[in-house]
Amino acid sequence: MTSNAIEPTNRNLYALFRSGFADRLDHPFLIIPGGATLTYGDVETRAMHMAGALTMLGVATGDHVVVQIDKSSDGVALYLACLRMGVVFVTLNTAYTPDEVAFFLGDAQPTVFVCRPADAATLQPFADEAGAKLVTLGVDADGTLAEATDTAPKIVDIVDSKGTDIACMLYTSGTTGRSKGAMLTHDGLAATAKGLHEVWGWQRDDVLLHVLPIFHVHGLFVALHPAMLGGSSVLFHPKFELDATLAALPDATVMMAVPTIYNRLLQADQFTPEQCASMRVFTSGSAPLAADKHEDFARKSGHVVLNRYGMTEAGIITSSPLDGERPAGTVGFAMPGLELRVVDDTNQPMPEGEPGMVQIKGDTLFAGYWQLPEKTASEFTDDGFFITGDIGRLDAEGRLTLDGRSGDMIISGGFNVYPREVELCINEAEGVFESAVVGLPHDDLGEGVTAFVVLTSEGSANAESIEEAIGSRLARFKQPKRYVFIDELPRNAMSKVQKVALRRDNADLYST
């Protein structure tokens, strides 16, 4: 490994990061475009004070802190403060509506809920109902938590954690539409970070171009963790903006993104080999990058994208090699320490090249779903493999190609959308008899969330009235980009809705 990190005796994930950047406290960590540059020492000091502020709010080791905030350096300090305290960091997509947040607060039972200053009044009743103290954090180091941090005493000790202790909880949805909190341990996250650091050949002088949100696995664990392991610098953009990203490319050596972001870069004339000359590697994940885009990318930028495959419950599962072929459509080899198999319905290995269910076992796996032991057990085979729900095939060298998913989950712009959750909301709208939600090919988003709706009677509802009805209940990215009104849903002899037929017959909806 090229980082300085040495295995600390304390298994707290922060202790591992600390050993990686201990000799680099004066080195730039978060470089905010048009704003401040914070060194590793600056961010650590802020995290120590924030731990002081959280302690004064009554937060203790093992508690949950739920967070729904915009991306900022204080957001990183808050995350690190929670790690240092052994507090479980539960971070939510900023697009979630108050209704959705209310569910997460009730489920996660946090001591403290941190939200954006502008959301405080709306979310206060939900925090009260969940018995959580509400504080705020804004992007300009403002908000009540930021103010408390300014004056709070530093807590310099890092709590002694066991590797099996929970560091973070991230919600993922499922086929039933009910979200589940995936509990991630200090050791599991450390294994992902160390594996990525090694496989992607991280150098201490790498500069990461960071344009992803930090409320998901990709932006937080896949991108930030390996950077911290070696004390590398991060160009920390508040969100993806095309022009700002293009302008930053010459200062960066590593970029991580979802295909939608790469699709947008590909459309820009300024995306050239000259602009990308300092880049060492572009990695892509969270959704499949179309083969034609993979080839366009190589032509336009002079770099072959490195595809990798991951999921919240497992961190990174496979990665294409840093040195070696990275054919379009493939996602590479199992990460170090991870056992991967492709099997049939009876868990028997499929022959080489034949599609089957992808299952994995290894150190990076989650510890289970919060308060759902039966659901957790049902996701594992009797011999301890996690059932990913993805369909793939292995070639002779052990390289994985993904062919699809066994469920009907949609991935829109790198966000997972579960049709059942959307259908349940649409079905409750006035004038709707029933609906079926599918993902259809979408040039920008990969898949566009699309609703096929049967009305109770002609004209009983329309796209606007349905949007109005579901608007406060579902995050915007989950809401259909199009509504198609039909007389009846296609069903088979068993009365099951034929989503395959809907997808097949409407594959061109977004290109016409």
Residues of this chain that interact with ligand MLC (CB under 6 A) are 212-213, 216-219, 239-240, 258, 260-261, 285-286, 310-312, 412-415, 445, 476-477
Looking up tokens 């996701």 gives 379
Residue 363 CB, nearest distance to ligand MLC (Å)?
17
Q: Residue 338 burial by CB count (10 A; 0-12/13-18/19+): exposed, middle or buried?
A: buried
- What are the strands, taking DSSP E only, across 302-385? 306-311, 315-319, 330-334, 338-343, 356-362, 368-369
Provide the pairing of β-strand 166-172 with 88-91. parallel
Our CB check for ligand MLC shows the closer of 47 and 411 to be: 411
Our CB check for ligand MLC shows the closer of 144 and 318 to be: 318
Residue 257 CB, nearest distance to ligand MLC (Å)?
8
Residue 60 CB, nearest distance to ligand MLC (Å)?
29
Cα 254 from Cα 248, distance rounded (Å): 11
Residue 91 CB, nearest distance to ligand MLC (Å)?
11
Our CB check for ligand MLC shows the closer of 180 and 218 to be: 218
Our CB check for ligand MLC shows the closer of 312 and 401 to be: 312
Number of H helices, E strands in the chain: 16, 25
Residue 411 CB, nearest distance to ligand MLC (Å)?
7
Cα 118 from Cα 115, distance rounded (Å): 8
Our CB check for ligand MLC shows the closer of 423 and 447 to be: 447
Closest CA to 258 of 230, 232, 235, 286: 286
CA angle 214, 321, 333 (to 5 degrees): 85
Our CB check for ligand MLC shows the closer of 108 and 445 to be: 445
Residue 143 CB, nearest distance to ligand MLC (Å)?
21
Cα 289 from Cα 295, distance rounded (Å): 10
Residue 495 CB, nearest distance to ligand MLC (Å)?
31
What residues contact 113, with CB distance under 8 A and at least 6 apart? 65, 66, 67, 68, 105, 123, 127, 130, 132, 133, 134, 135
Residue 216 CB, nearest distance to ligand MLC (Å)?
4
Residue 233 CB, nearest distance to ligand MLC (Å)?
21
Our CB check for ligand MLC shows the closer of 213 and 419 to be: 213
Nearest position to ligand MLC, beta carbon: 413
Which tokens in the block code for residue 493?
Answer: 């002899």
Residue 118 CB, nearest distance to ligand MLC (Å)?
16
Our CB check for ligand MLC shows the closer of 202 and 240 to be: 240
Cα 154 from Cα 82, distance rounded (Å): 14
Helices (H), 29-141: 40-56, 73-85, 98-108, 120-130
**Whole-number CA gyration radius for the chain:** 23
Residue 69 CB, nearest distance to ligand MLC (Å)?
15
Closest CA to 452 of 487, 417, 418: 487
Query: Which helix or strand (DSSP H or E) is residue 256 part of?
Result: strand 254-257
Our CB check for ligand MLC shows the closer of 73 and 319 to be: 319
Q: Is 185 left (phi over 0), alpha (psi -120 to 50) or beta?
A: beta
Residue 509 CB, nearest distance to ligand MLC (Å)?
15
Our CB check for ligand MLC shows the closer of 17 and 262 to be: 262
Q: Is 319 left (phi over 0), alpha (psi -120 to 50) or beta?
A: beta
> Are 73 and 33 within 8 A, CB to CB?
no
Our CB check for ligand MLC shows the closer of 73 and 312 to be: 312
Beta carbons within 10 angstroms of residue 348's beta carbon: 9
Please count the CA atoms within 13 angstroms of the CA of 116 that sit on its side-chain side.
Answer: 18
Our CB check for ligand MLC shows the closer of 49 and 294 to be: 294
